[in-house]
Chain A
Amino acid sequence: MTRKNTNIRTDIHILDGNQAAAYGAKLSRVQVIAAYPITPQTPLTEKLSEFVEAGELKSEYIAVESEHSALTVCTSASMVGARTFTATSAHGLAYMHEMLHWAAGARLPVVLACVNRAIGAPWNILNDQQDSISQRDTGWIQIYARNNQEILDSVIQAYKIAESVYVPAMVCYDGYVLSHAEMPVDIPSQQDVDRFLPPYKPHTILDPANPRNYNLVTLANPRVNTEGVLCHGYMELRFLLEEALEKSKDTIINVGQEFGEIFRRDYSGMFWQDRLDDAEIVIVAMGSLAMEAIVAADMLRKEGHRAGVLGLRVFRPFPKADLVKALNKCRLIVVFDKNISYGSEGATCSEIKSALYGSDIKAAIRNFIVGLGGRDVKARELADAVKKSIPSLGEGVVSTYYPEWICDI
C-alpha cells in the first residue's frame, strides 16, 4: 500500500466499511441493485439508495422483500446483461443459499458484499466469519478485506474478475470491526475506474429474434442437439465451473496487478505477506484479524521470535501452490479462525493443511478458534497463543488435535 508515485492524485475521505463498499459499487457503475436490510449491512443499502435517489448513480434500486429475492433479481438482471450488486450478512446470506448455487451454476458475474456476522441460534449481530465460510462450496469467488480501502478496491476488482471468468464474486468484510469503523479511504476518480473496468458483456442472449432457453433440465450425460452436435451433460458443466474457479487465480492476480498500476495500490497476490522472508513462525488469519496479527507479530519479534503474518485475501479459489511457496521456510504455522467447521476445525486451517499435503513442508500446525459472535480478539492473545504453540515447533508435524478456543475475557 505504499505510494511510490507522489504525482498520483488522491482523494482521501473518512469512510466506514459500508460506505467504502457503496462507493466501490457506485464507481463500478452498477446498473441493478437489489438488497434487503440486515444488520450490519444496512447502512450500505441506505447509502446506495441515497446515491440512486439523489441521481448520483444511474441504477435500478429494487427494495426487495427478502434476500432470496435480492439475489434472484440480480441473477435475472445479470442474464439480461446488467451489472448487478447485492449485499447482505449472516442469516441473509444463509437465506440466499439456494440462489448462491444458482448464480454460480448459471455462470452469472453478480458481485455481493458480505458484511460478516455471526449466525443464530442464539441471536447475535456481531462479527465472525461463519456466514461466508458456510457458503464456501457454492462456487463463488471469495475475497476478504482487511481494511476499508481494501473493501472499496476489492468491489471494483471483483467486477473485473467476475466478468472475465463468468463466476460470481463475494467481497467479505468484518461486521462492525470494518463496517462501522471509520478510516481514511482514497476514493478513486470515476475516470480512472472507467479506464480500469470495461462494460459487462453477458454470455447469455435473451432476444425473441434468437430465442434461447437457459438452465433447462440437464441430464448427467452429454446429449445431442437437433443439429446432431453433442452438448454438455450436467457433470461437464460442473467441471467447467470448477475449471473456471481454478483458472480465476491468474485473473485475480492479473487484475490486482493492473489495479496497482492505475491506482498505486497493488493486489497482485492471493494473500498478504508480512515478514515471511525470514519467518520461522507464521501466523495465518483472514479479514481484519490479519491486521491484528501484524501487531501480534511485532510483539513476538520484540521478544526475539522470528514471526511473520500470512493474511488470506482470497479464500476461493484457495491459493494452494502459492501458499506452499510462501510457507516453505517456516516451521510453525498458527492459524486463527473466526469460524468453526463443527466436529472438525477452523475452515482456513483445514485448507492450509490440505494445501501442504505432498509438499516438503514439515511445519507444525496449530489452530485456534477466536472472535465468534464478536468476542474481542486482542493482539496480545494472538501472541500468547503463538508462544503457547512454540513447544510443538520442534515436533515438526501437522497437529491432528481439535482446535483450541480462545475465550479469555
Chain B
Amino acid sequence: MKTNPINLTETEYLLSGNRTCPGCALSLAYRHILKALEGQVIATVPASCLTVLHGMYPITSVNVPCVNTPFASTAASATGLVAGLRALGRKGLTVLAIAGDGGTHDIGIQALSGAAERGDDFIYVCYDNEGYMNTGNQRSGSTPLGVISGTTPILGKQQNQKDITAIMEAHQIPYVATANASYPLDLYEKVRKAKAIQGTRFIHVFTPCPPGWDFPFSDTIKIGQLAVETGWVVLYEVENGVFRLTSASESIARRGKLKPLTDYFAVQGRFRRITQEQMNELQDWVNTRWKRYLARAAS
C-alpha cells in the first residue's frame, strides 16, 4: 500500500516542545522515522543537533528508548545494542543509529565502515545539514564548495562534499537510500522498507538548516524541494544492488528537466560569496551525476 498522510502511523514518538531551532528539518525527518518504526526501536545518538532535540536531563521530548554515545562511536554503539539484544534473546526491536554529517562523513566514518563491513544488523540514518551546526556552523566533509561557514568565513569552502551514500553503497550492504525531510512520505516508506531488511541499512536524509544556511525559518520545505528540483539532492534507493529513482526525482526524470542550480544557491545566504567558476563546477558535477543516475535507473 502506498503511504499517504491518512495511513501514516498516528502515534507520535517525538513529542511537541523539543529544543531544536524553528524550521528545523531534522525534527520533521525524525518524527517520520520514528513513526515508520512504530516506536519499536532503540536509538543511539552521538553528539549532534539530535542530542539537543532529545533534551536535557531529566526531561526528554522523545518517546522511544535511547542511549547517547560519544561522537565517533555511533555505529559501534548500534553494534553493541544489536549484540546485547541477541545475547539476551530479545527479538522484534530495530536498532537505529542516527547521526549528523559530521558524525558520519567525518569522525564516525571508521566505526560506520567497520560495522557495514561486518554487516551488523541495524539502520543507520545520516541526517545531513551539511556542516557542524550543533557547534555553530563549521565546515564538515559534507559542506558544499563555496559555502561560507564558521571555519571558511571569508573565502568559502574550497572543496566539494563527499558522496557518503556512494561510499556506503561500496560496502555492498543490502539497502542504501537517499531521502529528504521535505518528502516525508518517501522517507517513511524507505524506513519501512529498511526495517524489513536484515543487515546494515543506510539512509541519507537531507535536512536543510535555516540558521546555518541562512534562509528564513518558514522556507525549510521549499529549500528541500528546490534541492531535489535542481538535482542537488537525488532521491533514490539501492536494494540488493538494484537502483531505483523515487518520489520527486523519479517524476523529474520522466519530465526530463532539472532547474538550474543557481535557483537553489540564490535563496541561501551561505552561498553569498560563491564564484561563477565554483557555480559552474557544481553545475557540471550535478549534471554528470544526474546523467549517471538516469543511466542506472534505465538499465
Chain A interface residues (CB < 8 Å from chain B): 31-32, 34, 59-60, 62-66, 68-70, 72-82, 84, 98-99, 102, 205-208, 210-219, 223-226, 229, 231
Question: Would you call B77 and A213 a contact (CB within 8 A)?
Answer: no
CA distance A74 to B76 in the complex (A): 9
Minimum distance in angstroms from A65 CB to a CB of chain B: 3
Minimum distance in angstroms from B52 CB to a CB of chain A: 8
Question: Would you call A216 and B79 a contact (CB within 8 A)?
Answer: no
Given the interface pairs A60-B86, A62-B83, the reply to whether A213 lies near B56 with Cβ below 8 Å is: no
B73 adjacent to chain A (CB < 8 Å): yes
Question: Would you call B62 and A213 a contact (CB within 8 A)?
Answer: yes
Partner of B72, one of A68, A223, A229: A68
Minimum distance in angstroms from A138 CB to a CB of chain B: 13
Instruction: Choose, from B107-115, B174-182, B187-195, B203-211, the stretch at the interface.
Output: B107-115
Q: Can you list 17 A-B contacts with CB-CB less than 8 angstroms, sorted by A residue number?
A: A31-B87, A32-B80, A34-B80, A60-B83, A64-B76, A69-B73, A69-B110, A72-B70, A76-B78, A76-B84, A78-B80, A80-B81, A99-B73, A208-B40, A211-B66, A213-B66, A216-B58
Question: Would you call A207 and B54 a contact (CB within 8 A)?
Answer: no
Task: Give the residue name and chain of the A residue nearest to B68 (CB).
Answer: A215
Question: Would you call A77 and B84 a contact (CB within 8 A)?
Answer: yes
B297 adjacent to chain A (CB < 8 Å): no
**Which residues of B sit under 8 angstroms from A224, Cβ to Cβ?**
58
Most chain A CB neighbours (cut-off 10 Å) among B58, B63, B86: B58
Question: Would you call A206 and B83 a contact (CB within 8 A)?
Answer: no
B219 adjacent to chain A (CB < 8 Å): no
Given the interface pairs A207-B65, A208-B65, A213-B55, the reply to whether A80 lies near B73 with Cβ below 8 Å is: no
**Which residues of A sit under 8 angstroms from B84, Cβ to Cβ?**
31-32, 76-82, 84
Question: Would you call A231 and B81 a contact (CB within 8 A)?
Answer: no
Task: Give the residue name and chain of the A residue nearest to B75 (CB).
Answer: A69
Task: Give the residue name and chain of the B residue nearest to A214 (CB).
Answer: B67
Question: Would you call B76 and A68 a contact (CB within 8 A)?
Answer: yes
**Which residues of A sit under 8 angstroms from B51, Cβ to Cβ?**
216-217
Task: Give the residue name and chain of the A residue nearest to B13 (CB).
Answer: A211
Given the interface pairs A75-B80, A211-B63, A225-B58, the reply to whether A31 lies near B88 with Cβ below 8 Å is: yes
Question: Would you call B83 and A72 a contact (CB within 8 A)?
Answer: no
Most chain A CB neighbours (cut-off 10 Å) among B42, B118, B120: B42
CA distance A34 to B111 in the complex (A): 13
Q: Tell me the B42-74 residues at the A interface (CB within 8 Å).
A: 42, 44, 51-52, 54-60, 62-70, 72-73
* Smallest CB-CB A-B distances: 3 pairs: A76-B80, A80-B84, A65-B114
B263 adjacent to chain A (CB < 8 Å): no
Most chain A CB neighbours (cut-off 10 Å) among B57, B77, B80, B120: B80
Question: Would you call B87 and A65 a contact (CB within 8 A)?
Answer: no
CA distance A69 to B68 in the complex (A): 14
Minimum distance in angstroms from A288 CB to a CB of chain B: 33
| Known pairs A206-B67, A208-B39, A208-B65 / 12 extra A-B pairs, C-beta < 8 Å | A66-B110, A73-B77, A80-B42, A84-B80, A99-B73, A205-B65, A206-B65, A208-B64, A212-B66, A216-B55, A216-B56, A217-B52
